[in-house]
């Protein structure tokens, strides 16, 4: 019989060891090894049975066992010490507390998914894991962040394979009561409920669960509330659930409901309201509408703002991060659908046409019938960024329609390269080795150069242990997968000996959208087979990844790959492991010698799995895309060359796969096996390939750890967000709100005035004097531009000369700018702007003149998208 309702009864832990409940509920355990070890030590067998989930462990321990533990003074002392350590972690000042009073008091971080631990499966891939790592590093640095997301009843799907290797999805329901979550309650004990008015008089209610990620609270909205109708209950059923309507409702709940949740949380905890709102990808963008609604609501303020004023105020304190250059990765809804939702009571008093204009694709190539969430995100944030340097370039190009007339490099989208949370992703064995040799926490700091003091033998022995752990795990997972595919135990003896702990191990695991090209390695199956079965230099491949449930092309790729791995001739050297998740990843990254990444350049915004491999001493073998494009240095791995632009898809894949085979055969494998220390020269071979130590390989590992370790850490990333984006946004937000938004009201009026007159602004005439007939470096050019300001005042604009090296196309490179700040009124709304420009370079010199808006409340002179040029 099936249960019609399930609930979880929480264990009452005896007083002496009550600290265990707290330790199990704060997710810091997921990256704090000593806490995990404490739980493991209580019952090592049970610990494995509950898959290393502390809360599940407390639920599974018998009452007798708990009594016995409570009577054991050693256990009691260790629990007490662990709790003390947690308290210290939660309370002591950390890096952020050195920044002084001006730093934002609270920052709200919105994301549709959070990947914190496998115990809380609320993520599908990179975006979620990044968000989880962001919270963890914020906690480690003491950043007062609050996460906001949704609690999905089924999270993302679990993947298995059918007999013929077709991806199967299942959605096991989660019981929030059995998860490390606390239901937010009013002081009288009733659950906090927020509500969102939907069309046709319906209402969407949601409860709020809080997860504690170290110091950082994460609020998750849950629409599975008894008072909701069935459709409303299902809104948070699964990650990125369903099509249009369903997804739009999820995003309205995340954005608008998320702001309401923050308001309640601040009231209940008597903490400061967020001063900065960070929109992690477009999905959460409606948070900006809810904030505008608040500012325009006469019930909330005596002196409500207009739309323009509220927009300016909201923008000042909002940061938007775009995560994808793949158009299919951007959320778009039919404009009419968005209009339908806002026509009702969702944001009364907020003009629907203005909301619709925020998401309008009113630029070349845009679709006027669509509402674009990334475009809205950019328009609602005064500060925006991509997630790697190259992705910054690609994003400025991709969204250039919003900044017509601007050079792409002047478009105000910067970049902050992603990072990974080191304590989560460094293998415990590596962390212990570091601790043993150098004392606590060398891996927490920005200097990893101590790795050069570790002997080659120790590094190599560790690498083998990590590889062996992966081989063990892969065998177990493969066997279980085959059982699900219908094989009997008797047929599966071979799975006990797949993979070899001494063979060069290459990993490839990620979601399976087409652009990541899971099957590039299969382009020439005979060539791949030869690499796998090479008599002296074999490689082995461990592969994993989930395809989006609606993506048959992705599922076909998985099927092609799995069918290749099913071949008895190669199945001991290549495996596909179903159900890629955080738990698998933590064994996979450390266990691989090489991490392979072959996306279609430049479609990988950043990619983080290669970073997680690198901090474990794996070497990257990757197309020059995402983070690798900026951090590959020739000694930390290999770069797979990219075909020239204009090459056909077929030719491109041929060329890039050939380059990949070539690198594996001639560089990667020989270096792994070849360079064997003299003591065991000649011992290399497939039977015992690595009794010696390949010194060049190990020098690459040390170089990778020393240089990439700190560079790819999420602490570096979060610190950059704080200094480059959160702090300026908080300052702008405070200035905007000062004196009941006095500055905002004048700023918004100024913008309106500017927009009204700007079309009349133009550069009438530019002249320059002063150079000799044969100009030399150091000579002075007097530049004068006569500009018609069409009724604006000279203080409203900045006129600059942009100069640089002129190419044949007249495109300037290496440009610099100089303000033309000597102003003469010419009458009739005309002014002359002048300055002396010192020639600072030889060769073909060129310049142009730009007129841009100027105001102290602008974060960037390009942000309004207004420019006049000559």
Name the site residues for ligand PLP (rule: CB under 6 A).
Answer: 125-126, 129, 510, 580-582, 585, 607-609, 612
Q: How far apart are the first and last CA of the chain?
A: 78
Cβ closest to ligand PLP, residue 502 vs residue 625: 625
Cβ closest to ligand PLP, residue 255 vs residue 423: 423
Nearest to 411 by CA among 419, 400, 401: 400
Cβ closest to ligand PLP, residue 56 vs residue 585: 585
3 state SS for 670-715:
HHHHHCCCHHHCCCCCCCCCCCCCCHHHHHHHHHHHHHHHHHCEHH
Rounded (10°) CA dihedral 434, 437, 440, 443? -30
Token pair recorded at residue 359: 């998401």
Is the peptide bond between 475 and the residue preceding it cis, with omega within 30 degrees of 0?
Answer: no
Cβ closest to ligand PLP, residue 129 vs residue 232: 129
Nearest to 280 by CA among 263, 258, 264: 258
CB 218 within 8 A of CB 114: yes
Q: Please give the Cα distance from 55 to 404 (Å, whole number).
A: 54
Cβ closest to ligand PLP, residue 318 vs residue 598: 598
3 state SS for 618-663:
CEEEEECCHHHHHHCCCCCEEEECCCCCCCCHHHHHHHHHHHHHHH
Q: Please give the Cα distance from 556 to 710 (Å, whole number).
A: 38
Token pair recorded at residue 736: 């905007």
Cβ closest to ligand PLP, residue 510 vs residue 601: 510
Neighbouring CB atoms inside 10 A of 170's CB total: 10
Which stretches of 282-388 are DSSP H helices? 287-296, 307-316, 335-342, 352-358, 373-379
User: Measured in whole angstroms, how far is the alpha carbon of residue 66 from the centre of its chain?
Assistant: 40
In the complex, least distance from residue 580 CB atom to ligand PLP, rounded to whole angstroms: 6
In the complex, least distance from residue 517 CB atom to ligand PLP, rounded to whole angstroms: 12
In the complex, least distance from residue 585 CB atom to ligand PLP, rounded to whole angstroms: 4
In the complex, least distance from residue 582 CB atom to ligand PLP, rounded to whole angstroms: 5
Token look-up 């300016």 returns: 312
Beta-bridge mates of residue 574: 541
Distances from the Cα of 131 to the Cα of 80, 136, 362, 581, 605, angstroms:
31, 9, 31, 15, 15
- Largest distance between two CA atoms of the chain: 98
Cβ closest to ligand PLP, residue 255 vs residue 626: 626
In the complex, least distance from residue 283 CB atom to ligand PLP, rounded to whole angstroms: 17
Token pair recorded at residue 856: 């102290």
Q: Please give the Cα distance from 557 to 517 (Å, whole number).
A: 8
Token pair recorded at residue 138: 């914020």
Cβ closest to ligand PLP, residue 125 vs residue 637: 125
Pair type for strands 145-150 and 216-222: parallel
In the complex, least distance from residue 613 CB atom to ligand PLP, rounded to whole angstroms: 9
In the complex, least distance from residue 25 CB atom to ligand PLP, rounded to whole angstroms: 23
In the complex, least distance from residue 816 CB atom to ligand PLP, rounded to whole angstroms: 36
- Helix, strand, coil content of the chain in percent (nearest 5): 45, 20, 35
Distances from the Cα of 600 to the Cα of 267, 418, 516, 643, 645, angstroms:
48, 19, 6, 10, 11
In the complex, least distance from residue 608 CB atom to ligand PLP, rounded to whole angstroms: 4
Cβ closest to ligand PLP, residue 424 vs residue 657: 424
Q: Please give the Cα distance from 852 to 862 (Å, whole number).
A: 7
Cβ closest to ligand PLP, residue 502 vs residue 581: 581
CB 837 within 8 A of CB 817: no
Cβ closest to ligand PLP, residue 538 vs residue 599: 599
Token look-up 């203080």 returns: 795
In the complex, least distance from residue 20 CB atom to ligand PLP, rounded to whole angstroms: 28
Cβ closest to ligand PLP, residue 612 vs residue 703: 612
Give all strands of the β-sheet with 822-827 in edge-to-edge order: 762-769, 780-788, 830-838, 822-827
In the complex, least distance from residue 516 CB atom to ligand PLP, rounded to whole angstroms: 7
In the complex, least distance from residue 578 CB atom to ligand PLP, rounded to whole angstroms: 13
Cβ closest to ligand PLP, residue 419 vs residue 694: 419
What would the DSSP string read from start to end of 417-445?
---B-HHHHS-HHHHHHHHHHH-TTGGGS
Cβ closest to ligand PLP, residue 167 vs residue 609: 609
In the complex, least distance from residue 551 CB atom to ligand PLP, rounded to whole angstroms: 15
Cβ closest to ligand PLP, residue 125 vs residue 804: 125
Cβ closest to ligand PLP, residue 295 vs residue 518: 518
CB 111 within 8 A of CB 183: no
In the complex, least distance from residue 196 CB atom to ligand PLP, rounded to whole angstroms: 31
Cβ closest to ligand PLP, residue 622 vs residue 690: 622
In the complex, least distance from residue 520 CB atom to ligand PLP, rounded to whole angstroms: 15
In the complex, least distance from residue 115 CB atom to ligand PLP, rounded to whole angstroms: 7
Token look-up 């308001």 returns: 263
Cβ closest to ligand PLP, residue 607 vs residue 798: 607
Nearest to 570 by CA among 537, 541, 600: 541
In the complex, least distance from residue 541 CB atom to ligand PLP, rounded to whole angstroms: 16
In the complex, least distance from residue 125 CB atom to ligand PLP, rounded to whole angstroms: 4
Nearest to 342 by CA among 362, 305, 371, 310: 371
Cα–Cα–Cα angle for 192, 317, 446, nearest 5°? 95
What would the DSSP string read from start to end of 399-422?
TGGGGTTS-GGGSS-EE----B-H
């Amino acid at each position: 019989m099936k249960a019609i309702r399930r609930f979880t009864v929480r264990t009452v832990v005896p007083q002496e060891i009550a600290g265990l409940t707290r330790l199990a509920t704060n997710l810091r355990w997921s990256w704090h090894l000593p806490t995990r070890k404490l739980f493991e030590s209580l019952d090592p067998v049970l610990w494995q049975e509950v898959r290393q989930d502390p809360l599940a462990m407390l639920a599974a321990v018998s009452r007798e066992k708990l009594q016995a533990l409570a009577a054991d003074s050693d256990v009691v002392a260790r629990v007490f010490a662990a709790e003390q350590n947690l308290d210290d972690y939660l309370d002591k000042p950390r890096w952020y507390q050195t920044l002084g009073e001006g730093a934002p008091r609270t920052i709200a971080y919105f994301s549709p998914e959070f990947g914190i631990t496998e115990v809380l499966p609320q993520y599908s891939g990179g975006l979620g894991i990044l968000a989880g790592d962001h919270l963890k590093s914020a906690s480690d640095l003491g950043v007062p962040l609050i996460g906001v997301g949704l609690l999905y009843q089924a999270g993302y799907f679990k993947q298995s394979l059918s007999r013929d290797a077709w991806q199967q999805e299942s959605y096991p329901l989660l019981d929030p009561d059995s998860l490390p979550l606390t239901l937010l309650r009013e002081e009288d004990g009733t659950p906090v409920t927020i509500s969102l008015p939907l069309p046709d008089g319906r209402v969407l209610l949601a409860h709020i669960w809080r997860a504690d990620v170290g110091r950082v609270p994460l609020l998750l909205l849950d629409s599975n509330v008894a008072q909701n109708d069935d459709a409303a209950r299902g809104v948070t059923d699964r990650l990125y659930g369903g099509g249009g309507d369903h997804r739009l409702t999820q995003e309205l709940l995340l954005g608008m409901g998320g702001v309401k949740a923050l308001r309640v949380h601040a009231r209940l905890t008597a903490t400061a309201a967020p001063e900065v709102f960070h929109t992690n990808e477009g999905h959460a963008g409606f948070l900006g509408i809810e904030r505008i609604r608040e500012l325009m609501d006469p019930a909330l303020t005596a002196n409500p703002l207009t739309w323009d004023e509220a927009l300016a105020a909201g923008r000042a304190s909002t940061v938007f991060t775009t995560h994808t250059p793949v158009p299919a990765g951007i959320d778009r809804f039919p404009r009419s659908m968005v209009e339908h939702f806002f026509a009702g009571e969702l944001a009364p008093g907020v003009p629907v046409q203005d909301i619709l204009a925020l998401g309008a694709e009113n630029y070349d190539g845009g679709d006027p019938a669509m509402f674009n969430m990334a475009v809205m995100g950019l328009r609602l944030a005064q500060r925006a960024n991509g997630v790697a340097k190259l992705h910054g370039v690609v994003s400025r190009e991709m969204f250039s329609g919003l900044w017509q007339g601007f050079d792409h490099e002047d478009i105000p989208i910067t970049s902050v390269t992603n990072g990974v949370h080191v304590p989560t992703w460094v293998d415990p064995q590596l962390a212990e080795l570091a601790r043993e040799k150098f004392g606590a926490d060398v891996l927490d700091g920005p200097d990893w150069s101590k790795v050069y003091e570790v002997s080659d033998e120790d590094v190599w022995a560790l690498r083998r242990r990590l590889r062996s752990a992966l081989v063990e795990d892969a065998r177990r997972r493969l066997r279980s997968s085959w059982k699900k595919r219908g094989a009997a135990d008797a047929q599966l003896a071979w799975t006990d000996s797949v993979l070899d702990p001494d063979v060069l191990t290459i990993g490839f695991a990620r979601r399976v959208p087409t652009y990541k090209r899971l099957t590039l390695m299969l382009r020439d199956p005979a060539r791949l087979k030869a690499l796998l079965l090479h008599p002296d230099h074999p490689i082995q491949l461990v592969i994993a990844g989930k395809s989006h449930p609606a993506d048959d092309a992705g599922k076909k790729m998985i099927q092609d790959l799995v069918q290749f791995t099913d071949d008895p001739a190669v199945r001991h050297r290549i495996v596909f492991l179903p159900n890629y998740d955080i738990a698998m990843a933590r064994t996979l990254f450390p266990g691989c010698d090489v991490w392979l990444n072959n996306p279609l350049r430049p479609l990988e915004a950043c990619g983080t799995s290669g970073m997680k491999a690198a901090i474990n001493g794996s070497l990257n073998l990757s197309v020059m895309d995402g983070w690798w494009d900026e951090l590959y240095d020739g000694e930390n791995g290999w770069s797979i060359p990219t075909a020239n632009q204009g090459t056909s898809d077929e030719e491109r894949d041929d060329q890039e796969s050939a380059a990949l085979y070539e690198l594996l055969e001639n560089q990667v494998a020989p270096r792994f096996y070849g360079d064997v220390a003299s003591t065991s020269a000649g011992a290399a071979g497939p039977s015992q390939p690595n009794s010696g130590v390949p010194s060049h390989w190990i020098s690459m590992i040390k170089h990778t750890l020393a240089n990439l370790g700190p560079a790819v850490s999420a602490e570096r990333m979060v610190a950059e967000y704080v200094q480059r984006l959160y702090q300026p946004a908080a300052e702008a937000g405070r200035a905007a709100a000062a004196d009941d938004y006095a500055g905002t009201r004048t700023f918004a009026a100024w913008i309106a005035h500017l927009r009204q007159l700007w079309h009349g602004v133009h550069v009438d005439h530019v002249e320059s004097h002063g150079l000799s007939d044969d100009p030399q470096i150091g000579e002075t050019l007097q530049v004068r531009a006569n500009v018609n300001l069409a009724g604006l005042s000279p203080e409203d604009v900045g006129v600059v000369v942009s100069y640089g090296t002129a190419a044949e196309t007249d495109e300037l490179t290496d440009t610099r700018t100089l303000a033309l700040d000597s102003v003469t009124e010419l009458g009739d709304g005309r002014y002359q702007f002048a300055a002396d420009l010192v020639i600072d370079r030889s060769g073909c010199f060129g310049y142009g003149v730009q007129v841009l808006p100027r105001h102290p409340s602008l974060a960037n002179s390009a942000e309004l998208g207004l420019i006049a040029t000559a």
